[in-house]
Structure 1
Amino acid sequence: MADFGDMLRAAGDFGLFQKILLIAIWIPFLLLSFIFASVIFVESDPERHCNTDWILGAGPNLTEEEQLNLTVPREPDGSLSRCLMYAPVNWTLDSIRQYGLNHTTACRDGWVYDQTLYQATIVTDFDLVCDKANVVEVAQTVLGAGILIGSLLFGPLGESFGRRRTIQIPVLFLFIFTLTGGLSPNYYLYLASQFGAGVGYGGSRMNAIVLMTEWIGITKRSMGACGSQWSGAAGLACMAGIIYLIRDWRLAQLVMAAPMGLVAVYIWFIPESARWLLDRGRTEEAKELILKAAAINRRTVPESLFEKIAVNKTVEKGGIRVLITSPVLRKSFLILTLSWFAVNLTFNCLSFNVGKFGLDIFLTQMLFGLTELPAHLLCFWLLELAGRKLSLMFTLLVGGLVCLSILAVPAGNAIAVTVLAILARILMILGSSICSVYIQELFPTSSRHTAAGLGGLATRVAGLLAPSLNLLAVYHYSIPISVFSSITLVGGALIFLLPETRGRELADSTAQAEVQSDGPKMEKGRRSITDEHTAVITSSKL
């Protein structure tokens, strides 16, 4: 009995066809980081003062310093108040100077913001300061909620409608809502756009990795996930450079939407997963795609392979039911999901604090991106050398300890904190890449997309919780770090219970996936049963 792995090897498991597919999908990953652009344009408390131009009616020749001295009260430390002004009066300038103003009020005519760092941010455009300062975190939370819903919605749909469709529709979401986000006239439409872009992000990311993985052979399988992460890191570095040059969040948003529009056009021409088509019993469509891949790779697939698939292949129901009813797969799913959750909780907590490490925000953001590029190349090498299990344990356990070590750094040592944060973030992004490879190798084709989607859902929950966890720093700065570091260490320890999947063909049935998870002895026994069953079928045909 032939399986998809046999046909893929015959058609070429990493030829020109796979390389074109990788490039076509890596480009969107390069752009996915850009949806975080406007969120980075956030300062929790930018330099500002109330707009007090009302006094210019009484004294049009006042200098800016004189105007502020007369109309804005001082804080106890001598600085100008950021949220209060003296109430306007219908007096002459001489009377104001003689008697002074004493009655304070909240800013009535908006604020004047310092533009040294940014020309415009979502904070300055929507006046998210003073009594509205807390809603700044809402933008991050809404984006995280959109990513969560996208993972929940498009993940399981991939089992029913295919990998291809659940990539194309989310990409359209990304383009439309990145564009509308930059054109938003108010904060509420901006939030809606962030949610829509988040849905596109959550829906497209993991589905694209699944599609790539199912088209690549054993030796290069991790290239899909690791290469995608590398592309995302490159996008992060590019985003920092674009923001540095533009300094206006609306213009940056529109500039970043332009290449996404190009992706939204060509993404409709990517191929479906032939492995999924075979799993659905759509043999003729799968055969056509495999032959097309073989032609591009300049290979030939024997017709006998298709005949064996047509005779022996049956459609297996999968989805979330398999993950719940199979004790072996349920254990693997829960452990890996917890680990993936921990990785992304730590990653997002560190990312959302990019402006609080003490160094220049542009420099820190670019370092975050640039240091990831060699790390993802290392990830591919590490997965093939040490395997999935040992690599994931190492990244989580060491990463958790590095995060805890931040608490030992003396306050004010911005360089040391930034170095540790970057190191921890590199380890977490490696862990995320390994999880995305691991989860696809542990589960069968009938539930692979569901497992990856629900696992991705856990990571989105982590992204949703990260801003709220960071807010606990108001009680003590060590609380967020202690929480996400501890969860990461627990997740790393539990990985010991998972099987190694390096060098194994992707499972096409639940039985095969359970064999791989149960261990080599059961695999040997069940393989003998399968061989006997195949021999019986063959003899009956004869």
Structure 2
Amino acid sequence: MTIPWDSKANSWSSCTRLDANFTPEYFNSSITANKSVKCEKWIYDTSVYKSSAVTEFNLVCDDAHFRVMADSLFMVGALLGSIIFGDMSDRFGRRPIFFLSLVLQVVFGLLAAAATEYYTFMLCRLVIGSTTSGVFLVAYVIAMEMVGPTKRLYAGVVCQFFFTTGYILTAAFAYFIKDWRILQVALSAPGIVFLCYWWFVPESARWLITKGRGVEAKEILLKAAKENKVTIPEDILDNLLTKTGMANGDLPSEQGAREKKTRARKATLFHLFHYPNLRKRTLVILFSWFVNSGTYYGLSWNTSNLGGNDYINFLLAGAVEYPGYAFLLLTLNRWGRKAVLCGCMIVGGVALLLTSVVPSDMNWLIITLAMIGKMVITSSYGTVYVFSAEQFPTVVRNIGIGAASTSARIGGILAPYTLLLGDQWRPLPLLIYGALALCGGLLSLLLPETLNKKLPDTIEEGEMFGIKHKDDDALDGNMDDVFKN
């Protein structure tokens, strides 16, 4: 008798109550019938979650938008962290910045567990997001720089496998730890263990070479060769370092430094949008990163809206990433980047769009389609990293990837807010992700294939890359004849 009916939610209201107290004064007063007022306190269902930040800080009704703000700020932090810690790792080295990020991540993770009000909690989430970029991205770069060209795909996928393992362990921790503060501590404290990597992980030899510290790089390479039982003749190693002008720890020549600075001044983000072919490819790449990131994180955070068991849904959303990354190992160097990216995004888009026409009582089918979408979007997200780096000319490659990464972070920042649309119609977030993924897959057809192709170095080569000339077919035929003989 005291709770009004919410016609939008088609259920009794959780945010308002009837302004009635059943006292004589109430009945004798001239109060509008069925007048409702906002609730001041709430009683929460603790059958699934014993406690959460939502229930402790009352992030419901008019404050419901704060529920997604912490996730959005996490992605803002990831954007800032990729810029700040990325630049610092280029300046001061991969190793020290990795451990600085790790320490900050642990400290602010523990502070988040002790937050007494929501604004402090959100600030901690912002810092945790930035340090996550520092830890994961710098570790990823170290892995890439420790192996040769033929092993980079495998090294990158292995890094992602461990990321997925952490994803799955989060579901396991949450299942057994029902209190959100204890869960936050349990997820943050293990970072302390990785501080022991200080005695095992060396500085990147490639970074040392670029900084003119050839002697240190040589020592690391010789130690690595010894550990792997490989013999590297010192004359070959010295010759390699001599070509970079650093055999004895000498800095690169002043002329080389000036030329490098000149190239850096000439190549800017502006060049990617000044030339029509480069502009088209750049816009497609930026949109692809935006869609892949937004869809990936949106599907990860949307598991509680799929129906069924939240823990199982989250676990499945992580488990399907394993075949998604394994698929890349089997196909990326065989089928080409373009086919994999386009195919995965289209399949993912169609699967997510189909969730809107599935009857609500067939929840298992909705979950299945969502997991198919998550699996193939994982594959396309992994592909776009490699494909994009090969699309940009060498002189603007880092600039291009930086712009693409920024676009991805924007997609991640907006993803939590898209989930709020599920309160109006449950399939709507998946419908939006599906439409965007389908558009991204079709647009990727505009990109040229890069597998086994000579990559562009200059802006001019980048503008002409992928444009087929009349003489190309004749040239390809002549080359086929040469190799037949």
Corresponding residue for residue 463 of structure 1: 412
Q: Does the CA contact (< 8 Å) of 2:395 and 2:458 recur in 1?
A: no
Is 1:484 aligned with 2:416? Answer: no
Pick closer, same or farther for the CA change 1:512–1:141 going to 2, 3 Å: closer
Counterpart of 2:2 in structure 1 is 73
Q: Secondary structure at the match of 1:271?
A: coil
Amino acid at match of 1:148: L
Cα distance between partner residues in 1 of 2:453 and 2:208: 21
Matched residue type, 1:304:
I
* Partner SS for 1:485: helix
Equivalent residue number for residue 64 of structure 1: none
Partner-residue secondary structure (3-state), 2:94: coil
Q: Quote the Cα distance in structure 2 between the aligned partners of 1:104 and 1:521.
A: 69
1:304 maps onto 2:249 in alignment: no
State whether residues 305 and 422 of structure 2, in contact with CA within 8 Å, keep that contact through their aligned partners in structure 1.
Answer: no
Checking the alignment, whether the CA contact within 8 Å between 2:5 and 2:13 is kept in structure 1 is: no
Change (3 A) 1:275 1:510: farther
Which position in structure 2 is the counterpart of 1:368? Answer: 317
> Which residue does the alignment assign to 2:171?
240
1:200 aligns with 2:149: no
- Aligned pairs for 1:25-40 within 5 A: none
The answer (yes or no) to whether the contact 1:207–1:449 under 8 Å persists in 2 is no
Q: Name the SS of the counterpart of 2:3 in structure 1.
A: coil
Shift of residue 322 of structure 1?
A: 3.4
Q: Is the 8 A contact 2:338 2:449 kept in 1?
A: yes
The 5 Å alignment of 1:366-405 reads 366-405=315-354
Moved more, 325-334 or 199-208: 325-334
Verify: 1:518 aligned to 2:465, yes or no: yes
Structure-1 residue corresponding to 2:482: none
Q: CA deviation at 1:212?
A: 1.5
Aligned residues: 443
Is the contact between residue 388 and residue 500 of structure 1 (CA under 8 Å) also seen in structure 2? yes
Alignment partners' CA distance in 2, 1:319 and 1:270: 31
Find the aligned partners of 1:137 and 1:250 in 2 and give their Cα distance.
Answer: 18
Q: 1:164 aligns with which of 86, 95, 101?
A: 95
What does 1:429-508 correspond to in 2, within 5 Å?
A: 429-441=378-390, 451-473=400-422, 480-502=429-451
Matched AA of 1:73? T
1:406 match: 355
Distance 1:261 1:312, change over 3 A: closer
8 Å Cα contact 1:86-1:104 kept in structure 2: yes
The verdict on how the C-alpha distance between 1:467 and 1:513 changes in structure 2, with shifts beyond 3 A counting, is: farther
Which deviates the most, 290-299 or 435-444? 435-444
Aligned partners of 2:3 and 2:17 also within 8 Å:
no
Match of 1:279 in 2: 210
Q: Tell me what 1:322 maps to.
A: 267
- In 1, distance between residues paired with 2:281 and 2:404? 11
The 10-residue stretch of structure 1 (148-157 or 436-445) with the greater mean CA deviation from structure 2: 436-445
TM-score under structure 1 length normalisation: 0.71
**Shift of the alpha carbon at 1:239?**
1.0
Q: How does 1:517-536 map to 2 (within 5 A)?
A: 518=465
Cα-to-partner distance string for 1:380-434 (whole Å, 9 max, x where unaligned): 1222322323221221222222222222222342111111110001111111112
Determine what percentage of the aligned residue pairs are the same residue.
30
- Which secondary structure does the structure 1 equivalent of 2:43 belong to? strand
Would you say 1:421 and 2:421 are equivalent positions? no
Tell whether the 8 Å contact from 2:4 to 2:18 is kept in structure 1 after alignment.
Answer: no
Aligned to 1:405, the other structure's residue is in SS state: helix
> Deviations 1:68-91 (Å, cap 9, x if unpaired)?
xxxx823449987644568999x9
The whole-number CA distance in structure 1 between the counterparts of 2:205 and 2:81 is: 24
- Secondary structure in structure 2 of the residue aligned to 1:73: coil
Number of the residue aligned with 1:225: 156
Aligned partner of 1:337 in structure 2 is 286
Question: Are the aligned partners of 1:118 and 1:247 in contact in 2 as well (CA < 8 Å)?
Answer: yes
User: In structure 1, what is the equivalent of residue 48 of structure 2?
Assistant: 117
Matched residue, 2:253 = none
Shift of 1:277: 3.1
Alignment match, 1:21: none
Q: Tell me if structure 1 keeps the 8 A contact 2:356–2:428.
A: no
CA deviation after TM superposition for structure 1 residue 466, in Å: 1.0
* Residues 181 and 447 of structure 1, relative CA distance in 2, 3 Å threshold: farther
Structure-2-length-normalised TM-score: 0.78
Give, in whole Å, the separation in 1 of the partners of 2:210 and 2:395.
7
Taking CA–CA contacts closer than 8 Å with sequence separation of 6 or more, which of the two structures ends up with the larger relative contact order? Answer: 1
Amino acid across the alignment from 1:289: I
| Distance change >3 Å, CA 103–CA 122, structure 1 → 2 | same
2:186 to 255, 263, 267: 255
The one of 115, 118, 136 aligned to 1:187: 118
Pairwise CA distance, 1:454: 3.8
Residues 105-128 of structure 1 deviation map (CA, whole Å, 9 limit, x = unaligned): 6555x4332210111011111122
Q: For the structure 1 residues 465 and 304, does the alpha-carbon distance in structure 2 shift closer, same or farther, using more than 3 Å as the test?
A: same
What SS class does the counterpart of residue 334 from structure 2 fall into?
helix
Structure 2 runs not aligned, ≥5 long = 29-33, 246-255, 470-485
- CA–CA distance in structure 2, aligned partners of residues 222 and 503 of structure 1: 14
Q: What secondary structure does 1:385 align onto?
A: coil
Aligned-residue offset at 1:142? 1.4
Give the conservation status (yes or no) of the 8 Å contact 2:328–2:379. yes
- Residue in 2 that maps onto 1:43: none
Structure 1 stretch 477-486 or stretch 459-468: which is displaced more?
477-486
CA deviation map 1:170-192 (0-9, x unaligned): 22232122111111111111111
Q: Which amino acid in structure 2 is aligned with residue 307 of structure 1?
A: N
Report SS of the residue matched to 1:384.
Answer: coil
> What is the match of residue 270 of structure 1?
201
Q: Cα distance, 1:312 vs. partner?
A: 5.4
**DSSP-derived class of the 1:150 partner:** helix
Q: Which amino acid aligns with 1:201?
A: T
Deviation readout 1:436-461 (Å, 9 max, x if unpaired): 23344556888665544443322211
- Partner SS for 1:113: coil
Per-residue deviation, residues 142-185 of structure 1 (Å, max 9, x unmatched): 11211121123233444433433443332223212211111111
Say if 1:242 and 1:477 are closer, same or farther in 2 by CA, change over 3 A.
closer
